[in-house]
């Protein structure tokens, strides 16, 4: 692919808007489409074009990037009437950065193949900060030739990019990542509750654990104690880097995928129960580290 491309971005929420801005800053001509997002107007003011539907956005694009909330929406936007594949030109690329199902990614790839369009599943990790800074981790499934063509675009968005295998491999990798993140956070919430119950200084707990075998990126980025880490959601009124609602969705997708293989993931299933409880406690729009706040409602701690 050439240095300057025509790129359609379908879905310009927290992630898609920031990816669009990076693509424009890199000199690409960007068309955006998202009837549900007020971010379209802001992006158009910055130089993007607007399309009223996905087919129209994809029609003139060398590559179409989707960033959408659920598998159902992905399927509708890509395969449905006036969807991406209806408009995408033969020989173009479709890159789905949503977190979805491996089985759906394979269906999208099959649908694209029938139309002469290469479809990659390329979910991302790193949140809005990573999207803004171009430091996302991007895990890609699809044909190697299509990955090679997409790589210059992906390098605008991410700093760690890996081709994980054929169609669906990117989504499978992302679900693996989010099962780890989600279960770790649920257990971290319990560990902090235990430390608090024992009357420990939670700042010192962080200092020690972050240099011990309990250390992790989840601990360092999302320690769920207000005032300990200035940039952690807990210190910013639980403002979401990644909300409970989306984390619960992703863990549920992982469990559904495991079920397709006859595989049981009991620890992940228990973690999902905790996130469902957080949703029922009106914490769904907060960062997923707010699962720790369940202890405020369940104990005298």
Cβ atoms 227, 238 nearer than 8 A: no
Q: Measured between alpha carbons, how far is 299 from 285 in angstroms, rounded to an integer?
A: 23
Q: Is 174 a catalytic residue?
A: yes
Distance (Å, whole) CA 230 – CA 244: 20
Q: Mind spelling out the 3-state secondary structure of the chain?
A: CCCCCEEEEECCCHHHHHHHHHHHHCCCEEEEECCCCCHHHHHHHCCCEECCCHHHHHHCCCEEEECCCCHHHHHHHHHCCCCHHHHCCCCCEEEECCCCCHHHHHHHHHHHHHCCCEEEECCEECHHHHHHHCCEEEEEECCHHHHHHHHHHHHHHEEEEEEEECCCHHHHHHHHHHHHHHHHHHHHHHHHHHHHHCCCCHHHHHHHHCCCCCCCHHHHHHCCCCCCCCCCHHHHCCCCCCEHHHHHHHHHHHHHHHHHCCCCCHHHHHHHHHHHHHHHCCCCCCEHHHHHHHHHHHCCC
Selecting among 18, 106, 163, 174, the annotated active-site residue is 174
Catalytic positions are 174
């Amino acid at each position: 692919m050439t240095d300057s491309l025509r790129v359609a971005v379908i879905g310009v929420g927290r992630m898609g808007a920031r990816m669009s801005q990076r693509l424009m800053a890199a000199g690409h001509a960007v068309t955006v489409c998202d009837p549900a997002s007020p971010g379209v107007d802001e992006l158009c003011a910055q130089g993007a074009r607007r399309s009223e539907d996905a087919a129209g956005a994809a029609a003139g694009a060398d590559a179409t990037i989707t960033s959408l909330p659920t598998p159902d929406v992905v399927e509708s936007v890509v395969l449905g009437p006036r969807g991406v594949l209806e408009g995408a030109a033969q020989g173009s690329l479709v890159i789905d950065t949503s977190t979805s199902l491996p089985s759906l990614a394979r269906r999208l790839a099959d649908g694209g193949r029938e139309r002469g369009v290469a479809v990659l599943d390329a979910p991302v990790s790193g949140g809005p900060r990573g999207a803004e800074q171009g430091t996302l981790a991007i895990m890609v499934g699809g044909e190697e030739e299509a990955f090679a063509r997409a790589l210059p675009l992906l390098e605008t968005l991410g700093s760690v990019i890996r081709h994980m295998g054929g169609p669906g491999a990117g989504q499978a990798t992302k679900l693996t990542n989010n099962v780890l993140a989600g279960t770790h956070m649920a257990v971290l919430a319990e560990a902090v509750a235990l430390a608090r119950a024992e009357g420990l200084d939670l700042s010192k707990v962080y200092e020690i654990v972050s240099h011990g075998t309990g250390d992790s990126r989840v601990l360092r980025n999302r320690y769920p104690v207000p005032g300990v880490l200035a940039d952690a959601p807990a210190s910013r009124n639980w403002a979401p880097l990644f909300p409970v609602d989306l984390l619960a969705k992703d863990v549920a997708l992982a469990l559904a995928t495991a079920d397709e293989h006859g595989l049981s993931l009991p620890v992940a299933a228990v973690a999902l129960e905790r996130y469902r409880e957080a949703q029922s406690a009106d914490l769904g729009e907060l960062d997923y580290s707010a699962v720790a706040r369940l202890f405020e409602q369940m104990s005298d701690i």
